[in-house]
């Protein structure tokens, strides 16, 4: 199979996958450091949109950069701009998940005229200075304490809080971020994670230059409609956080999917595709 690629601003070959039919929807994965494979078909959204699933540099179909500093969240914005030029679009619809939303937000601030619609799913909101407290996170995690897997998962989460960024701790904590730790969730939790993930993950934040007040000011020029999408069971990005962020995106629409965690298209594919599809149409 031929993998579509393009040369980014510095010559790094960036790969992506095309899925579905319809108007293009550029999709940025999170992780950070995961390939776009874990986005799948976004709950069936590919039935009405042609998904352009980008692998960040240093992951999946994309090459490792010559300069490791270009893995930073703020530098990844230039890869999105290079993809925009490669696709030949005047304006584009952009969807981003989790940490990928930080890149998408910085892109929207830098290039507001490029976007026709913006969808941020259970989004990282650090670029605009909206972040939950550790107490809020712990309270969200504690909601799952009746689950049979909770003791092992929360122990792994505590390791992460203490600074353990190993993939073992990351994987062991995964049940906390799905509405149900069923067969579908178990299979999904391993997608998009490879031996290249730790380097891409570490490089995402290392030295990243993010100025929330400047980003908020720049977003006042964004005229594209924005959807902030949350899961009501997500301990990482709560409905309260996305509601707090909505005014920053010029009165963004907010959708909260019932019975969903950090990966709402996995927890209820039809509900996700219906809600996001309606916004995009």
Listed by start position, the domains of the chain span: 5-280
Instruction: Summarize pLDDT for 235-261 with one digit per residue, the tens.
Output: 999 999 999 999 999 989 999 999 999
Question: Which residues, 6 or more positions from 191, have their beta carbon under 8 angstroms from its beta carbon?
Answer: 34, 37, 38, 40
| Distance separating alpha carbons of residues 82 and 32, to the nearest angstrom | 20
Structure tokens, 25 = 């929807």
Kindly report, residue by residue over 95-149, the tens digit of the pLDDT. 999 999 999 999 999 999 999 999 999 999 999 999 988 889 999 999 999 999 9
| Alpha-carbon span 185 to 263, nearest angstrom | 9
User: What's residue 2's pLDDT?
Assistant: 64
Q: Does the bond joining 32 to the residue before it have cis omega, within 30 degrees of 0?
A: yes
pLDDT at res. 122: 98
Distance (Å, whole) CA 131 – CA 1: 41
- pLDDT 10s digits, 167-200: 899 899 999 999 999 999 999 999 999 999 999 9
Mean pLDDT of 70-94: 97
Q: Which residues contact 171 (CB under 8 A, 6 or more apart)?
A: 156, 189, 190, 193
Alpha-carbon distance of 142 to 159, in angstroms, equals: 16
Closest CA to 144 of 183, 173, 185, 186: 173
Rg of the chain, C-alpha, whole Å: 18
CATH of domain 5-280: 3.40.50.1820
Quote the pTM value: 0.96
| pLDDT for residue 227 | 98
Give me the pLDDT at residue 1, please. 53
Whole-angstrom distance, CA of residue 94 vs CA of residue 249: 14
């Amino acid at each position: 199979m031929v993998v579509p690629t393009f040369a980014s601003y510095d010559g790094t070959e960036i790969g992506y996958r095309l899925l579905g039919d319809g108007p293009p929807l550029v999709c940025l994965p999170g992780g950070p450091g995961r390939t776009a494979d874990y986005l799948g078909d976004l709950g069936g959204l590919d039935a009405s949109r042609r998904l352009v699933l980008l692998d960040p540099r240093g992951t999946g179909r994309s090459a490792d950069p010559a300069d490791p500093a270009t893995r930073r969240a703020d530098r990844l914005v230039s890869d999105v701009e290079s993809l925009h030029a490669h696709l030949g679009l005047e304006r584009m619809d952009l969807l981003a998940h989790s940490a990928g939303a930080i890149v998408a937000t910085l892109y929207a601030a830098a290039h507001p005229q490029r976007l026709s619609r913006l969808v941020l799913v259970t989004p990282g909101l650090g670029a605009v200075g909206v972040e939950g407290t550790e107490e809020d996170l712990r309270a969200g995690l504690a909601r799952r304490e009746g689950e049979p897997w909770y003791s092992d998962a929360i122990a792994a989460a505590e390791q992460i809080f203490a600074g353990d960024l190993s993939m073992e701790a990351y994987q062991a904590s995964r049940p906390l971020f799905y509405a149900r730790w069923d067969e579908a969730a178990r299979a999904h939790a391993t997608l998009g994670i490879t031996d290249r993930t730790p380097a891409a993950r570490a490089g995402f934040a290392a030295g990243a230059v993010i100025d929330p007040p400047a980003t908020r000011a720049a977003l006042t020029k964004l005229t594209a409609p924005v959807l902030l999408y949350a899961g009501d069971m997500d301990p990482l990005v709560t409905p309260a956080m996305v509601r707090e962020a909505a005014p920053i995106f010029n009165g963004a629409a907010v959708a909260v999917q019932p019975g969903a965690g950090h990966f709402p298209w996995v927890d209820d594919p039809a509900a996700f595709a219906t809600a996001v599809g309606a916004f995009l149409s």
